[in-house]
Amino acid sequence: MKATAANHTQTVAGWAAMNECCKVEPFIFERRENGVDDVTIKVQYCGMCHTDLHFMKNDWGITMYPVVPGHEVTGVVTAVGANVSDFKVSDRVGVGCIVGACLDCDHCHRSEENYCEKLVLTYNGILPDGSVTYGGYSETLVVHSKFVARIPDSLPLDAAAPLLCAGITVFSPMKQHGMLRSGGSLGVVGLGGLGHIAVKFGKAFGLRVTVISTSPAKEKEAREGLKADDFIVSTDEKQMQAKAKSLDYIIDTVPAKHSLGPLLELLKFKGVLALVAAPDQPVELPSFPLIFGRRTVSGSITGSMKETQEMLDLCGEHNITCDIELVSTDGINEALARLARNDVRYRFVIDIGGDSN
């Protein structure tokens, strides 16, 4: 059983995986009382990320059970600490993948706290008091105000929830590599939770967007539903060869082992491929497509709070939300089973607040 810090006296109901069976069950636990720098949030919605499955199944060998997943959280502020000036009770807010960092290292000073060596994950992380974090599959969160984002009034809380992980995960590398400039050409590998948002960002900022998928059946939804400009079946050698050296950028969202070589051949000279998924086995990276095209492969993990707020504000301005399927708390396990089969278009969101129950 996990140790509970002395000030963790706020009883909260949630849903936890108790072992590697990949199912959750009702779980009562204690959160800390609202501190001077904290914000307490009544959770309304929580997106279901593929990372939740990885942690529940202990795919990476680091899970501490019981684990309460969830890092795509939206809700309403119910309490603020004495030192908090950016938020007030009743504000619409969100919490993403991280809830803590040292706030004193070079990364933190440069608003890159997502790369701080002492970052604390929203769940399965360890806080400075030694307690383990529990995520958004729960009715209440208590979070340092630094790691809380404001949700624009124009965005519905349910469809905005996945922006806190899926959205910022693709937005951050797109911004860092200049992919948001109008007129460029963007390839999006994989049309799931991350991929569909990358397509929406690309279209909103004036890029020519090509979806790259192993599934020919996704062409209609890519072109008609998401307004993608082109579609490539990655297992079709003729299609891949016909589109060689046609893209400025690629966002690779595929969370499974695959070769980057064929994808790199789609890039123009000095093109950039950004990896944002976390396959449980190493991807293949041949050197020739890199060195003969002066191409770059980059990695990115979530985004900073500054980037997160910028992304949310832009989504509010451009009316960008995630395509979701809302599920009740009674349907979490069924949704998890479907998520494991990639049977979702494009993100499950749990109605924690009970509006759809």
> What are the DSSP calls for 326-342, one per residue?
EE-GGGHHHHHHHHHTT
pLDDT of the residue at 6: 67
From 284, 299, 314, the end of a domain falls on 299
Residues 63, 203 within the same domain: no
Check which CATH number belongs to the domain holding 226 and give it: 3.40.50.720
Q: Which tokens is 23 given?
A: 């199912």
Query: What is the value of pTM for the model shown?
Result: 0.93
Q: What is the pLDDT of residue 181?
A: 85
Within the chain, strands assigned E span: 10-16, 25-31, 38-48, 73-80, 92-95, 98-100, 120-121, 140-144, 149-150, 185-189, 208-213, 230-233, 247-252, 267-275, 296-299, 324-327, 347-351
- For residue 3, tell me if it sits in a domain: no
Per the CB < 8 A criterion, the answer to whether 252 and 274 are in contact is: yes
Are residues 98 and 53 located together in one domain of the fold? Answer: yes
Helices and strands, number each (H, E), in the chain:
11, 17
Q: Are 72 and 96 in contact (CB under 8 A)?
A: yes
The number of domains in the chain is: 2
DSSP 32: P
Are 156 and 69 contained in the same domain? yes
Q: How far apart are CA 66 and CA 52, in angstroms?
A: 13
Question: Domain for residue 248, yes or no?
Answer: yes
Same structural domain for residues 331 and 238?
Answer: no
Give the residue carrying structure tokens 């059983």: 1
What does the alpha-carbon distance between residue 100 and residue 349 come to, in Å, rounded to a whole number?
A: 24
Q: Which of 299, 321, 336 is where one domain is finished?
A: 299
Instruction: Look at the alpha carbons of 32, 35, 37, 40 in this order and tell me if their dihedral is positive or negative.
Output: positive
Assess if residue 2 is contained within a domain.
Answer: no
83 and 197 housed in the same domain: no
Token pair listed for 298: 């980059």
Q: What is the largest CA-CA distance in the chain?
A: 63
Instruction: State the pLDDT at residue 4.
Output: 59
Q: Are residues 151 and 199 in the same domain?
A: no
How far does Cα 251 stand from its chain's mean position? 14
d(CA 252, CA 124): 26
Query: What's residue 180's pLDDT?
Result: 86
- Of the chain, the end-to-end C-alpha distance in Å amounts to 31
Shared domain for 311 and 322, answered yes or no, is yes
CATH number reported for the structural domain that contains residue 50 in this entry: 3.90.180.10
Long-range contact set of residues 234-237: C-beta below 8 Å, sequence gap at least 24: 234/189, 234/262, 234/263
Residue 84 to residues 39, 64, 143, 155, Cα–Cα distance (Å): 8, 31, 11, 24
192 and 102 fall within a common domain = no
- Cα–Cα distance measured from residue 318 to residue 312, given in angstroms and rounded to the nearest whole number: 10
Q: Which domain holds residue 100?
A: 8-165+303-351
R_g over Cα of the chain: 20
Residue 294 sits in the same domain as residue 309: no
Do the domain assignments include residue 357?
A: no
In single-letter form, the type of residue at position 131 comes to S
Same domain? For 142 and 33 the reply is yes
**Domain membership flag for residue 99:** yes
**148 and 247 in a common domain:** no
- DSSP notation for 153-178: TTS-HHHHGGGGTHHHHHHHHHHHTT
Residue at 1 is within a domain = no
Q: Is residue 83 part of a domain?
A: yes
Do 18 and 93 lie in one domain? The reply is yes
Residue 205, in any domain of the structure: yes
Per-residue pLDDT of the chain (357 residues; tens, 9 = 90+): 454 576 888 999 999 999 998 899 999 999 999 999 999 999 999 999 999 999 999 988 999 999 999 999 999 999 999 999 999 999 999 999 999 999 999 999 999 999 999 999 999 999 999 999 999 999 999 999 999 999 999 999 999 999 999 999 999 999 999 998 889 999 999 999 999 999 999 999 999 999 999 999 999 999 999 999 999 999 999 999 999 999 999 999 998 899 999 999 999 999 999 999 988 789 999 999 999 999 999 999 999 999 999 999 999 999 999 999 999 999 999 999 999 998 999 999 999 998 643
